Chains A and B, each alone.
Chain A
Amino acid sequence: MSNILKIIFSAPLSAKFGMLVVLIYSIVAIFAPFIAPYGEREILGRAFELWSDKYLLGTDNLGRDMLSRMIFGARNTIGLALSITILAFLLGSLTGMIAAALGGWVDQILSRIVDVLMSIPSLIFALLILSIFGTSVPYLIATITVIDATRVYRLARATAMNVVVMDYVEVARVRGEKLGWVIRKEILPNITAPLLAEFGLRFCFVFLFISALSFLGLGLQPPAADWGSMVRDNATLITFEDMTPLLPAGAIALLTIAINFIVDWMLHKSSGLKDVS
C-alpha cells in the first residue's frame, strides 16, 4: 500500500492532476444519488431557467435540474464507456494475442473477420445493428465493444507478433508451456505499454462515440441522463449566449485530457525511458 502511495507521489504534476480529476469523477459517479440536489428525472421548473441559487446550473429543455443531470450523467456515461472499453480490450487483445501466438489458419480467420468488420464505417455499422435490434443498453454495449475490439485486435496482434518471434517465447514453447501461459506470462507483459496507451485513447473514442450515438438518438435513451444527449437537447441555448450546454461537453473534454495525462505517465514509466535533463 505504501508502495503505491510512493509511486503516486513521485508522479509528475500532470499525472497528479489527471488522477485528481479521475478521482473526483469517480466519487461523483459512485455517490451520484447522495451528491445530486435533485433526482435524475424530476421535472422541477420551467424549461431553460437561468443559473440561480435554487438550480445552480439552471434547468434543461424539460425543466430538469442541469447539475443533477450532469452528476447522474457522469455515472451513466463513464460507466458505459468504461465497461465498453474494458470489454473491447479483453476481447480484442485476447484474440489478437491468440492470433499472433498460434499463427496459421487461426490468425487468417480472425484477421479476415476483423478486416470485414473494419471495412464497414463504424457509425453506419452501429446505426444498422441498433436499428435492427433496438437501442437497449446491452445491445449498445455489445455493438460498440465489437467495433472497438477490432481496433484493439489490430494493435495487440501487431505488437504481439514482435514478441512471439523472440527466443524467450520459443523457450517457453519448448518447455511445453500451454498457450494460456505463453500469452499471460511471455507476451502480455511485453505489450502492456502500447495497450495501455491505446486504452486511454480508446476510452475517449468510446466516450465520443456514445455521445455521437446519443446525439443521433440511438445512444442512451431518455430519460436517462448522459452528457452527449444533454448537449444535443440544450444546444439551442448556445444561440442565446448561454454556455450551459457546453458544460457536459467540457466535462467530457476534461476527463479525456486527465486520462491521457495518466496514460502518458504510465507509458513513460513502463518504457523505462530516463529523463534527460
Chain B
Amino acid sequence: MLADANKNSGNEPSATLLEVKGLRIEGLSEKGWQEIVCGVDLKLKRGEILGLIGESGAGKSTIGLAAMGFARDGCRITSGEIIFDGIELCTASEEQKRKLRGNRISYVAQSAAAAFNPAHRLLNQFAEGPVDHKVMSRTEAKEKGRKLYRSLDLPDPDNIGERWPHQVSGGQLQRMMVAMAMSCGPDLIVFDEPTTALDVTTQIEVLKTIKEIVTARNVSAIYITHDLAVVAQLADHLMVLRYGNLIEVNSTGQILEAPKQEYTRALLDARTRHEKTALQISDAETLLSINSVTAGYGNGPDILQEVSVLVERGRTVAVVGESGSGKSTLARVITGLLPPRSGEIHFQSESLPPALAQRSKQQLRKVQMIYQIPDVALNPRQRVRDVVGRPLSFYLGLSGKEREHRIIELLEHIELSEHFIDRLPDELSGGEKQRICIARALAAEPELIICDEVTSALDTIVAKAILDLLQRLQRELSLTYLFISHDLDTVASIADRVVVLYAGRIAEQGPKAAVFQPPFHPYTRLLLSSVPEMRQGWLEETLSTREAKAGIAREVKITERGCPFAERCPVAIPEICVRDRPPLQTPASGHVFACQHAPEMLLDHSA
C-alpha cells in the first residue's frame, strides 16, 4: 500500500496518464504485412474509463495490448507514440516495459478460465505479480488478496484463495481475475471483453466489481467490448473503431444520444430491441411435444426434471436460462444424443425413439441443429461443398450436377455467393461460418431447427444479421425453431413462445407477451432486469433492485426438493419454498409458471 502511495504522489487526478499518437500497427497475413491499426490517437486521464467498441477485426485488442507497449506475434508497431505517464513505450527497453506490466499496467483477458493457470492455487497466482515486482512480500501479497476478495464480496474471502481455478464459478473466476489485476495497485487496467462469455446475471456481477474497483481506487481503464450497452455502464468516453480506423470518439452520453457517424448508428441499432410481431397462424399444428422428460448424464443427478414443452409448426420457441439450467441438455435429448431417463418425445404425432441409433434416417433428417460456436461446428478440413453437400447426398440422395446446383441455391439462401463453394472454414469470417452451418441444416430440408445459442459467439452487428436471416428463412420456408439462448434481448426479438428453464425445471412458459409483460416468476424478472440497457446509470438502478440483490452472484444449483430458485428468490417464503415443490399455475391458457405465490401477489411485488 505504501508503494502505491509513493507511485501516485505528485500526480494530479486530471493529469494525462496515457497518450497514444498516430499509432500504426501491422499484422502479417498471407498477403504480407498489412495495416490493422491505421493511425489512432487516444488520451486517457487518470481515473477515467475509455471504452473501445467495434466488431472483430476492428483492432480493439491490438490497441489495448499496444497500450502496454506490446504487440502480439505476427504484429508490429510501425509508427506512433505510446506515452504512459511520461514513459515512451515504443522505445522503452524490454526490461523497462516488464517493470510496468503487471505492476502499473495490468490486463484482464476475456476468458478467466483460460487465463488462470489450472495447476496453481488462486491466491498464489494473485501473489505472483507483487512478489515478482518486489512490491510486497508473499505474506503481504496474500493478505492484500484476502482483503480485495472481501471488498469484492466474494464468498468466503479468507479461504477462497486456497482453491484451484476449476473450483470456483465462471463469474467468480472473472472477478478474481479483476482482483489479480489490482494486486500491485496499477494505474491503468486494460479489460479485454471481460464479460462477453458470461450469462447476463453473471455479467452484472462482474460489471459491478469492475465499476467498484475502478471508481474506488481512481484507476484508469481501457474497456474493450463489442457490446455498447455494457460499456455504456462504465465508460466516460467511447471510441468507435472499424477496420483499425477511428470512426468516432466522444463522451458516452453524446455517443448514445447523438451519434454522428453512420456506423455508430448501425452499432446502436443492432443493440436496440426489435420486437417481432407474433405470427398469425390459425391452424397451430403441434410439431414437437416433449412430455415430462427427465434426463441426466451417467449416474449423476437429473439435469432435466419433468420438462414438458410444446412446439407448434412455424413458430419459434425460445428456451432461456443461465448456464447450468439444462438448456443444452434439452437439445441433446431432442436430437437423441442423450436418451431421457423417463418421459416421451413426439414428433408430428409419432413417438420418437429415445436413442439416436434407433431413429430412422427420415426422423433424423427432420430435426437439425445449429451450434453456438461455428468454429468447432465445421470440420476445418472440409470445404463448403462437402459440408453443405453431405446432407444432400446422405438424406436426399442427390449427386453430381443436381447436388452442385442445390448447394449453390442454398448458398444464395444464406446470402453468400457461389464462390464460397470451394472455401475452407479457415477462409470464412465468424458470421460466414455460422451461415454455412445454417445452410448445412437447411440442406436436410428439416421441419425443426434447434438453434443452440447461435449468436452468442458473434459480434452484435453480425449477430443481428444472422437473426434477420433466420427470421427471413422462417417466413419463406415456414420453418420451426427451438431457440436456446441466455440472451433475452435476442429472445424478445425472435420468439413466439418462451420457456424459462431453471436448474432443469420449467420456471415459466407461455406466449412471449404473457411471460415477459409483466413477468410473473421472480426468475424471469431477474433475467429480464439483467439485460443491459443502452443508457447510462442502468447498472446502478438494476443493482438496487430486490431481484438483483437476492439473485446475482449465485450459481444455479439442482435441488432434490423444493423450489431450486428459493435461495436466490427475493420473495421466497422461508421453509415452505425449500421444502415443497412449487405448484404449477395457469394464469392464462398456454401460460404456466411454478411458484408458491399467486399471480396477483407476484405482480404486487413487482410494483
Q: By the criterion CB–CB under 8 Å, are B74 and A175 in contact?
A: no
**Which residues does chain A contribute within 8 Å of B356, judged by CB atoms?**
173-174, 176
Given contacts A174-B336, A276-B28, contact A185 B382 (CB under 8 A): yes
Given contacts A167-B371, A274-B30, contact A186 B379 (CB under 8 A): yes
**Which residues does chain A contribute within 8 Å of B380, judged by CB atoms?**
190
Restricting to B370-416, which residues have a CB under 8 Å from any CB of A?
371, 373, 376-382, 386, 390-391, 394-395
Q: By the criterion CB–CB under 8 Å, are A168 and B335 in contact?
A: no
Q: By the criterion CB–CB under 8 Å, are B30 and A189 in contact?
A: no
Q: Which of B377, B379, B390, B395 gathers the greatest number of chain A CB atoms within 10 Å?
A: B379
Q: By the criterion CB–CB under 8 Å, are B371 and A171 in contact?
A: yes
**Which residues does chain B contribute within 8 Å of A166, judged by CB atoms?**
376-377, 379
A170 located at the interface, meaning its Cβ lies under 8 Å from any Cβ of chain B in the complex: yes
A223 located at the interface, meaning its Cβ lies under 8 Å from any Cβ of chain B in the complex: no
A272 located at the interface, meaning its Cβ lies under 8 Å from any Cβ of chain B in the complex: yes
Q: By the criterion CB–CB under 8 Å, are B336 and A189 in contact?
A: no
B560 located at the interface, meaning its Cβ lies under 8 Å from any Cβ of chain A in the complex: no
Q: By the criterion CB–CB under 8 Å, are B373 and A167 in contact?
A: yes
Q: Closest Cβ of chain A: how far from B278's Cβ, in Å? A: 30
Given contacts A168-B378, A173-B337, A174-B337, contact A272 B371 (CB under 8 A): no
Q: State how many residues of chain A have any CB contact under 8 Å with chain B.
A: 17
Given contacts A272-B426, A276-B74, contact A168 B376 (CB under 8 A): yes
Restricting to A222-277, which residues have a CB under 8 Å from any CB of B?
272, 274, 276
A42 located at the interface, meaning its Cβ lies under 8 Å from any Cβ of chain B in the complex: no
B interface footprint on A144-178 (CB within 8 Å = 1, 0 otherwise):
00000000000000000000001110110111110
Q: Closest Cβ of chain B: how far from A117's Cβ, in Å? A: 30
Q: Closest Cβ of chain A: how far from B526's Cβ, in Å? A: 30
**Which residues does chain B contribute within 8 Å of A173, judged by CB atoms?**
337, 356
- Bound Cα distance A185, B383 (Å): 12
Q: Closest Cβ of chain B: how far from A171's Cβ, in Å? A: 6
Closest to B370 in A: A171
- Bound Cα distance A190, B335 (Å): 25
Given contacts A168-B379, A190-B379, contact A174 B335 (CB under 8 A): yes
Q: Closest Cβ of chain B: how far from A109's Cβ, in Å? A: 19
- Bound Cα distance A185, B380 (Å): 11
- Bound Cα distance A272, B373 (Å): 21
Q: Which of A167, A186, A189 gathers the greatest number of chain B CB atoms within 10 Å?
A: A167
Q: Which of B74, B359, B376 gathers the greatest number of chain A CB atoms within 10 Å?
A: B376
- Bound Cα distance A175, B386 (Å): 14
- Bound Cα distance A177, B361 (Å): 10
Q: By the criterion CB–CB under 8 Å, are A174 and B369 in contact?
A: yes
Q: Closest Cβ of chain A: how far from B329's Cβ, in Å? A: 14
Q: By the criterion CB–CB under 8 Å, are A174 and B364 in contact?
A: yes
Closest to A170 in B: B337
Closest to A190 in B: B381
- Bound Cα distance A170, B394 (Å): 16
**Which residues does chain A contribute within 8 Å of B377, judged by CB atoms?**
166-168, 171
Q: Closest Cβ of chain B: how far from A274's Cβ, in Å? A: 7
Q: By the criterion CB–CB under 8 Å, are B379 and A189 in contact?
A: yes
- Bound Cα distance A177, B395 (Å): 10
Q: By the criterion CB–CB under 8 Å, are B376 and A176 in contact?
A: no
B568 located at the interface, meaning its Cβ lies under 8 Å from any Cβ of chain A in the complex: no
**Which residues does chain B contribute within 8 Å of A175, judged by CB atoms?**
364, 390-391, 394-395, 444
**Which residues does chain A contribute within 8 Å of B444, judged by CB atoms?**
175
**Which residues does chain B contribute within 8 Å of A190, judged by CB atoms?**
379-381
Q: Closest Cβ of chain A: how far from B452's Cβ, in Å? A: 9
**Which residues does chain A contribute within 8 Å of B336, judged by CB atoms?**
174
Q: By the criterion CB–CB under 8 Å, are B381 and A171 in contact?
A: no
- Bound Cα distance A171, B74 (Å): 34
A interface footprint on B416-430 (CB within 8 Å = 1, 0 otherwise):
000000000010000
Q: Closest Cβ of chain A: how far from B304's Cβ, in Å? A: 18
- Bound Cα distance A189, B387 (Å): 14
Q: Closest Cβ of chain A: how far from B76's Cβ, in Å? A: 11
- Bound Cα distance A166, B372 (Å): 12
Q: Closest Cβ of chain B: how far from A196's Cβ, in Å? A: 14
Closest to A272 in B: B426
Closest to B444 in A: A175
- Bound Cα distance A174, B391 (Å): 11
B440 located at the interface, meaning its Cβ lies under 8 Å from any Cβ of chain A in the complex: yes
- Bound Cα distance A255, B471 (Å): 61
**Which residues does chain A contribute within 8 Å of B440, judged by CB atoms?**
171
Closest to A275 in B: B28
**Which residues does chain A contribute within 8 Å of B390, judged by CB atoms?**
175
- Bound Cα distance A185, B28 (Å): 32
Q: Which of A173, A175, A185 gathers the greatest number of chain B CB atoms within 10 Å?
A: A175
Restricting to B61-119, which residues have a CB under 8 Å from any CB of A?
73-74
Provide 17 A-B residue pairs closer than 8 Å at the C-beta atoms, listed in order of the A residue. Answer: A167-B371, A168-B377, A168-B378, A168-B379, A170-B337, A171-B369, A173-B337, A173-B356, A174-B335, A174-B356, A176-B356, A176-B361, A176-B394, A185-B382, A272-B426, A274-B28, A276-B74
User: Knowing that A174-B336, A176-B356, A276-B28 are A-B contacts, what are 11 other residue pairs whose CB atoms are under 8 Å apart, sorted by A's residue number?
Assistant: A166-B376, A168-B376, A173-B356, A174-B364, A175-B364, A175-B391, A176-B394, A185-B382, A189-B379, A190-B380, A274-B74
What 6 A-B pairs have minimum CB-CB distances, sorted nearest first?
A189-B381, A167-B377, A168-B379, A176-B364, A167-B371, A167-B376
